[in-house]
Amino acid sequence: MAILERFGDIIKANINDLLDRCEDPAKMVDQYLRDLTESLAEVKKETASVMAEESRTKRMVEENAAEVKKYEDLAKKALMAGNEGDARVFLGKKQQLTQAGESLQATYAAARENAQKMRQMHDKLVEDIETLHTRQAAIKAKVAVAKTQQQMAKVSSGSDRAGDAMNAFDRMEQKADQMLDSANAMAELNKKPVSQADALEKKYAQGAADAAVDDELSRLKKELGL
């Protein structure tokens, strides 16, 4: 039956294996639950149909068996009444029904096997849906915690990078200080040295200027009568 092949993997399905292979278990649970719920309605309908077929073939087998017994009883009554010819007719009919019964029995066996498989799939679906409903909230909570931890790891990584940047800036500042000190030293070395004679010349030149200012000041004071 096509329905058996179509839903055969339901029997083999393992929820935990499916969750292990997916990237987002929370989304996988939701999707798997939706798929199973949709499948359940169709499987339930097909299961009822297959079970009805099982009941019908079983009833045909039972009716055939009753007919076989009826003609055997008629054959016995005909023999007891001394009517061997009638008994032969009844036994011939019984033989036809017996042969038909063998075919009916094989049909019933196949219908019963199909019904068992469909019922097994139906029960598996119901069990999986109940399991997912029970675990859905717990799985989503775990996923939320995992995502939070991942986000924290990213933030922590960003903090580490900021610390590395601070260390790099410290090293660059030290390098800049070294460069400035080196430049100042070089500038000091590049200054033209002042000779002792030039220094003394400036000293006495300044002294002469001061003396001239003092003389000019005394002259003005005399003129003003101070």
Predicted confidence at residue 83, as pLDDT, reads 93
Q: Model pTM?
A: 0.49
The number of beta carbons lying within 10 Å of the beta carbon of residue 179 is 10
Q: What is the pLDDT of residue 160?
A: 60
Contacts 24+ apart (CB under 8 A), 20-28: 24/143, 25/139, 25/142, 25/143, 26/139, 26/140, 26/143, 26/144
Question: Which tokens hold the place of 9?
Answer: 């993997």
Full DSSP string of 67-106: HHHHHHHHHHHHHHTT-HHHHHHHHHHHHHHHHHHHHHHH
Give per-residue pLDDT as tens, 80-109: 999 999 999 999 999 999 999 999 999 999
Our measurement of the distance from residue 113's CA atom to the centroid of its chain's CA atoms, rounded to an integer in Å, reads 38
Collapse the DSSP code of 224 into the 3-class scheme (helix H, G, I; strand E, B; otherwise coil) and give the result. coil
pLDDT score, position 151: 73
Give Cα 21 to chain centroid, integer Å.
8
Please tell me the distance from the alpha carbon of residue 215 to that of residue 226, in angstroms, as a whole number: 14
Q: What share of the chain is helix, strand, coil (3-state, %, to 5)?
A: 90, 0, 10
91 contact partners, CB below 8 Å, separation of at least 6 = 71, 72, 75
Residues in the chain predicted with pLDDT less than 70, given as ranges, are: 1-23, 25, 136, 139-140, 142-147, 150, 152-165, 189-213
Which amino acid, 94? K
